[in-house]
Amino acid sequence: MSNKEKFIQEIESGYTHKGESIILGGAMLDGEVMTNSLVTIPLKTMNRHGLIAGATGSGKTKTLQILAEQLSAKGVPVLLMDIKGDLSGIAVESAGHPKIDERHEKIGIPFTAGASPIEFLTLSDEPGVRLRATVTEFGPVLFSKILELNETQSGIVAVVFKYCDDKNIALLDLKDMRKALQYLTSEGKEEMEAEYGRLSSASVGTIMRKIVELEQQGAEVFFGERSFDVDDLTRMDENGRGVVSILRLTDLQDKPKLFSTFMLQMLAEVYATFEEEGDSGQPKLVIFIDEAHLVFSEASKALMNQIEAIVKLIRSKGVGLFFVTQNPTDVPDDVLGQLGMKMQHALRAFTAKDRKAIKLASQNYPDSDYYDTETLLTELGIGEALVTVLNEKGIPTPLAHTMLRAPQSRMDVLTDKEIKNIVDNSALVGKYNETIDRESAYEILGGKIEQAAEAEHQEKMQKQQKKATTSRRKEKSAIEKVVSNTTTRQIGRTVARELTRGLLGVLGIKSTRRRRKKSSWF
């Protein structure tokens, strides 16, 4: 048996499945496509997570598009986190091209154009369904981890949550949290210390600064109501196809903390909400996280531990996670070890560091008698990838150099008009895009602070008024002081006496003169 025949036999043996599967493309050997030697993924193993890696321009996005539309066609809902904004074309069928027909002829499968039902989601002012979550839904543990708080600071956050729960005060957004911290360290300080203990002002100040930092990354648009129900990610259309939800994140590339905050909350909510699925015939939801290095590069140790725990546990809820990044080394080893499917596009060796990274990347794949993996990683063409998946028994399949099928949908973005048309016809926009600002901690505790300030002001004014009244009663006027003074009285008497003498002297002179005149008449 020739080397080529052995290879074909190995591929057919490794990639033939009993249940439903997704066709990725055709296996290649020595640069030649082995027609009808198809590389496939069992649908039931798509909740075993995966990695799509490769240099910029190597075709990762198109691979993601292929997987999403094939899953949708099989009745599996998909969530795509679209950082670059180039996945919207999945909503419109491909116009076709002779090169696409040529590629599919080599692979051995016909090309059929098709579109998938989609829903645009947004964390900002981009067109689409607004995603929000309340601070209460995060809970004190997750909220503290997002803020990267130490044990003492996390304890304070837990006490604030406890106080608000006990008093039936809602924590909806970040301004609610700030107002609660402000109140419990000022007007509510005595009440807090009596029931829950003293709060360190230094630690509270640190928490405040961390919240401001999160707000500066735009998190205030994410926290609030109406909260997004993750069950809306698992919808089907009238034809039984899974809805592809595209989360547009083009304006969040420079805000990794907000991106990781959303992702972690979303995964935690999915894990807490979805029921156990066990080993079903297909996943309940598949999530693709594009530019995954933005999540891991900015994650604290506590956040990483949380991500690792969710990756390990969420599979049992029927949810598959696929991380899309440039190099496998972008993903921590503990997470990478949980990824059953790996698709590696070309890597570029421009520097010594690049060559070292390629060597490490090649070690993530099974040994092969047919490929020099380390060399092949630098020679893969656009639309080609090294693939290994788990078969239905959970065993890794042989490594296959694969020519990938073409997307059935448009390999370009939608126009603004096309996006607007989809958003205008959305069944969820009316449900989630209304802003709700019901009474919460900001209004309730803010009112208490204002009342306390007003009472303090009134008390201060009353004290000042009372003091002024008392002063008027006790203190004499300037004239009274002058008149009542002993020296003043003596001087006054002397002046009065001299005035009297002067007046009497004048009167006396005038009287004498009158008498003299009168006596002269006679």
Query: DSSP readout, 20-74?
Result: -EEEEEEEEETTEEEEEEEEEEEGGGTTS-EEEE--TTSSHHHHHHHHHHHHHHT
The Cα diameter of the chain in Å comes to 181
CA distance 220 to 500: 88
How is the beta sheet containing 341-344 ordered, strand by strand?
32-42, 21-29, 400-404, 384-388, 341-344, 50-53, 319-325, 285-289, 78-82, 244-248, 118-122, 129-130
Under the phi-then-psi rule, with left for phi > 0, alpha for psi from -120 to 50, and beta for the rest, what region is 119?
A: beta
d(CA 159, CA 46): 41
What SS3 state is found at 246? strand
Q: What is the CA radius of gyration of the chain?
A: 40
Instruction: Report the alpha-carbon distance of residue 286 to residue 70 in Å, rounded.
Output: 12
What b/e readout covers 301-334, taking b as 16+ CB neighbours within 10 angstroms?
A: ebbbebbbebbeebbebbbbbbbbbbbbbbbeee
Give strand pairing partners of 306.
none
Confidence (pLDDT) at 397: 93
The pLDDT of residue 454 is 60
- Give the residue from 171, 258, 180 showing the smallest Cα distance to 214: 258
pLDDT recorded at residue 518: 46
Please state, in angstroms and rounded to a whole number, the distance separating the CA atoms of residues 315 and 292: 19
CATH code for 3-132+240-432?
3.40.50.300
Pairwise CA distance, residues 86 & 62, whole Å: 9
Which pairs from 437-441 meet CB under 8 Å and 24+ separation?
A: 437/224, 437/225, 438/170, 438/172, 438/225, 439/170, 440/169, 440/170, 440/171, 440/172, 440/173, 440/176, 441/164, 441/169, 441/170, 441/171, 441/172, 441/176, 441/177, 441/179, 441/180
Per-residue pLDDT of the chain (522 residues; tens, 9 = 90+): 788 889 999 998 889 888 899 999 999 999 899 999 999 999 999 999 999 999 888 889 899 999 999 999 999 999 998 888 889 999 999 999 999 999 999 999 999 999 999 999 988 778 899 888 888 888 888 888 888 888 899 999 999 999 888 888 888 888 888 888 888 888 888 888 888 888 888 899 999 999 988 888 777 778 888 888 999 999 999 999 999 999 988 766 666 667 777 778 888 888 888 988 877 788 999 999 888 877 777 666 766 777 888 888 898 899 999 999 888 888 888 888 889 899 999 998 888 888 888 888 888 888 899 999 999 999 999 999 999 999 888 889 999 999 999 999 999 899 989 999 999 999 898 888 877 777 777 778 766 666 655 655 566 667 777 776 766 555 555 555 555 555 555 555 554 455 444 544 444 444 445 454 444 433
Structure tokens, 90: 């999945």
Q: Which two tokens stand for residue 369?
A: 């008698």
Beta bridge partners of 244: 78, 118
Type of residue found at 173: D
Tell me the C-alpha distance between 181 and 440, whole Å.
14
Report yes or no: 365 and 341 within 8 Å, Cβ to Cβ: no
How many Cβ atoms are within 10 Å of 108's Cβ, its own excluded? 15
Tokens of 146: 């997002």
Residue 13 burial (10 A CB sphere; 0-12, 13-18, 19+): exposed
Q: Residue 206 and residue 187: Cα distance in Å, rounded?
A: 20
Q: Is 447 helix (H, G, I), strand (E, B) or coil?
A: helix
Give 383-441 as a DSSP string: TEEEEE-B-TTSPBPPPEEEEEPPPSB-SSPPPHHHHHHHHHT-SSHHHHSS-B--S-H
d(CA 220, CA 251): 15
Tallying the residues shown for the chain, one arrives at 522
Calpha distance 242→307 (Å, rounded): 26
What are the C-alpha distances in Å from 129 to residues 120, 225, 247, 372?
Answer: 6, 13, 9, 47
CB atoms within 10 A of CB 159: 17
Residues 266-294: b if buried by 16+ CB within 10 A, e if exposed: bbbbbbeebeeeeeeebbbbbbbbbbbbb
Tokens of 31: 């640069």
Secondary structure (3-state) at 237: coil
Residues 16 and 307: beta-carbon distance below 8 Å: no
d(CA 290, CA 295): 10
Place of tokens 């002829």: 105
